[in-house]
């Protein structure tokens, strides 16, 4: 069983996580990396703490401790909102590097597929190409258009 912690952007701190949880159930977006037969459990859901990401220093450790058997998160997902929010999180690569180094937890970029309406706009903006966003968001944009439209 994969035990997952999700960290969202603080701009969306009131988000209920619906798209993230739905994509986990449907195994789309970043959750497509898990086999259908593997049970998944969310053991933590928090936000980054706002720029520059103060919660990144302790939330992953807390998530690692969560779980019924005190064996919590074994992977952290940095939610899709960190990529599709405008502007995208300038610290997402730093967050990934820090969590992996400090806590030894793998970090997956994203949760749900990027909604098609966001892709239609972001692909026209210079930062998308200049910032290597397509490479960073690979699992989130590789879904068919029909699926991405369901996340609009």
What CATH number is given to the structural domain containing 24? 3.40.50
Residue 135 lies in a domain: no
Residue 71 lies in a domain: yes
What is the count of structural domains for the chain? 1
Calpha distance 59→65 (Å, rounded): 10
Q: Are 73 and 105 in contact (CB under 8 A)?
A: yes
Residue 17 lies in a domain: yes
SS3 143: coil
Render 73-122 in DSSP notation, one character per residue. Answer: -SEEEE-THHHHSSSPPTTHHHHHHHHHHHH---EEE-SSPPPHHHHHHH
Calpha distance 23→6 (Å, rounded): 13
Residue 39 lies in a domain: yes
Residue 23 CB neighbour total at 10 angstroms:
25
Calpha distance 16→13 (Å, rounded): 8
Domain span at residue 50 reads 2-112
pTM for this prediction: 0.93
Residue 118 lies in a domain: no
Handedness of CA 60, 93, 91, 148 (dihedral sign): negative
Residue 142 lies in a domain: no
**Per-residue pLDDT in tens (0 to 9) along the chain, 152 residues:** 899 999 999 999 888 899 999 999 999 999 999 999 999 999 999 999 999 999 999 999 999 887 555 678 999 999 999 998 888 999 999 999 999 999 999 999 999 999 999 999 988 988 888 888 889 998 899 899 999 999 99
């Amino acid at each position: 069983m994969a035990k997952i912690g999700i960290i969202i952007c603080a701009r969306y701190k009131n988000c209920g996580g619906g798209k993230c949880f739905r994509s986990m159930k449907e195994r789309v977006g970043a959750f497509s990396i898990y086999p259908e037969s593997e049970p998944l459990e969310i053991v933590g859901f928090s936000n980054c703490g706002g720029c520059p990401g103060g919660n990144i220093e302790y939330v992953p450790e807390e998530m690692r401790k969560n779980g019924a058997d005190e064996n919590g998160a074994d992977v952290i997902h940095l939610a899709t909102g960190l990529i599709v929010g405008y502007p995208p999180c300038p610290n997402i690569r730093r967050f990934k590097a820090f969590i992996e180094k400090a806590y030894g937890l793998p970090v997956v970029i994203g949760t749900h597929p990027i909604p098609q309406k966001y892709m239609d706009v972001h692909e026209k903006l210079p930062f998308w190409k200049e910032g290597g966003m397509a490479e960073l968001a690979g699992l989130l944009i590789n879904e068919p258009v029909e699926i991405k439209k369901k996340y609009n």
